[in-house]
Amino acid sequence: MGIAVQNVNKTFGDFKALDDVTLDVPDGSLTALLGPSGSGKSTLLRLIAGLEEADSGTVLLNGEDVTHVSVQDRGIGFVFQHYAAFKHMTVRDNIAFGLTIRKTPKDQIRARVKELIRLVQLNGMAHRYPSQLSGGQRQRMALARALAAQPNLLLLDEPFGALDAKVRKELREWLRNLHEEVPVTTIFVTHDQEEAMDVAQQIVVMNQGKIEQVGEPKELYENPKTEFVMGFVGEVNRLGDALIRPHDLDLSLTPIEGGEEANVERVSHLGFEVRVELSLANGDHAWAQVTRKEDEELQLTEGVSVYARPSRARKFQGAEAQGDDGASAEELQVA
């Protein structure tokens, strides 16, 4: 179901969590709300769910005004960071909860639970309690529970935040596949840009209660509209008033046109990627990301002099002062 959030404001005491937020989420999409903590992303998700009420503004689900409709009646599935498993119920009863309280016939519940247990790969664990499951299993159970009553909308609040890196990666892939299998409109909150880029079709970047930019992962990376977005979705160097991605900084041992002389301070080998930390003549620090092959050719070591030249850079004007409307981005093609 399509979601429209219009001019929504929300404050907690003195803290402005959402500042005049307007957002459209197309039907059937997989969207990430991405931002640092305190950016308002979780508040926005909870507001769409009906777990928080807006101070002003409107929330539409499928064109219908649900601003004052309770969470119970919005037909959503919600997944929490810390699983929110019903500790006193077995996996089976957890998943069946939404159906049981709707007084669904027993044989239908049994069939649906069986189907979901297979979908979330918890076969043979129906009679376990949440305390007997691993974190990843608990979160998959929570997902099955949220999907059981066939919600129109699946909302996930930092769903992988409490899991270790390996399980997080597995679940990411699994969520993407699930969305293909069960194409329900899905929004998930994350502070991890890699996770957002990896899973989502559309990313909403938030900062200080406002939406900075909405776009596809590639679009955000290639054409960030604000300095904040550029810095949040990837690594950046600042050289003067230009922002440069570390992989857009070319290094050469001989002087090149437009290159600045720099001193290699440190070289870190991180497998495929090699990080070269530089100190420039004017005292600025930057780092370049080069491949192993490039590193072998250049034979970089500490104390060597190199010439650094950005192949691509961006300048933002008034991004901090004016917010997203007033900001203008300019791409500089140096090479």
The CB-of-97 to another protein minimum distance in angstroms stands at 6
Site string for another protein, 121-160 (x = CB under 8 A): xxxxx--xxxxxxx-xx----x--xx-xx-----------
Q: With respect to another protein, which residue has the nearer C-beta, 41 or 145? A: 145
The CB-of-206 to another protein minimum distance in angstroms stands at 21
The helix/strand count (H/E) of the chain reads as 10, 19
The CB-of-62 to another protein minimum distance in angstroms stands at 18
Task: Assess 170 for contact with another protein (CB under 8 A).
Answer: yes
The CB-of-180 to another protein minimum distance in angstroms stands at 16
Q: With respect to another protein, which residue has the nearer C-beta, 144 or 233? A: 144
Q: With respect to another protein, which residue has the nearer C-beta, 30 or 141? A: 141
Site for another protein in 93-112 (CB under 8 A): 97-98, 101-102
Quote the distance between the C-alpha of residue 232 and its chain's center.
10
Beta bridge partners of 34: 190, 205
- CA dist 181 and 216 (Å) reads 21
Per-residue 3-state assignment (H helix, E strand, C coil) for 54-79: CCEEEEEECCEECCCCCHHHCCEEEE
Give the pair of three-digit tokens for residue 324: 């997203």
The CB-of-96 to another protein minimum distance in angstroms stands at 10
Task: Assess 209 for contact with another protein (CB under 8 A).
Answer: no
- CA dist 28 and 77 (Å) reads 14
Residue of the chain from 4, 51, 69, 280 that contacts another protein (CB under 8 A) = 51
Ranges of beta strands (E only) in 281-332 are 285-291, 305-310, 313-317, 328-332
Task: Assess 11 for contact with another protein (CB under 8 A).
Answer: no
- CA dist 43 and 52 (Å) reads 7
| Closest-CA residue to 41 (of 77, 84, 8) | 8
The CB-of-88 to another protein minimum distance in angstroms stands at 4
Answer yes or no: are the C-beta atoms of 315 and 243 closer than 8 Å: yes
Residues that bind another protein (CB under 8 A): 49-51, 70-73, 76-78, 80, 82-88, 97-98, 101-102, 121-125, 128-134, 136-137, 142, 145-146, 148-149, 167, 170, 174
